[in-house]
Amino acid sequence: MSQGLLVGFWLGLAVVAANLPWLSERWLFAIPCQRTKPFWLRLVEWGLLYGLVVGIGFGFEYKTTGVLHTQGWEFYVVTLCLFAVSAMPGFIYRHQLRRLLRQNGQ
């Protein structure tokens, strides 16, 4: 697998993972919740998925280059911000679009 294809796959995986907590009513996609999932639980799940995506990225880096490069705090801040921007479609759907569609009766 080429490095460019691997990076594209990882970015796609990150976008999907960033949106999953906002689109699912199950805790960790396995345990059904009795009521709607609270916001803080969605944030915890989102943070766990961020850690998983970063870990997968480190795994891909080690697999392609054979070494892990050390990263400063700036790397984690930038990737967290990119992960947050990637989560915006799911967040908007959960907290704004669904309410508007319900109000219009669609």
**What span, in angstroms and rounded, lies between the C-alpha atoms of 58 and 31?**
28
CB 19: neighbour CB atoms within 10 A? 20
What confidence tens digit (pLDDT) does each residue in 24-63 have? 887 777 777 777 788 888 899 999 999 999 999 999 999 8
What's the pTM value of the predicted model, to 2 decimals? 0.83
Name residues whose C-beta falls within 8 Å of residue 70's C-beta, 6 or more positions apart in sequence: none
* Pairwise CA distance, residues 104 & 106, whole Å: 6
Rounded CA separation 92/90 (Å): 6
Residues ≥6 apart with Cβ < 8 Å to 85? none
**pLDDT tens digit sequence for 55-93:** 999 999 998 888 998 899 999 999 999 999 999 988 888
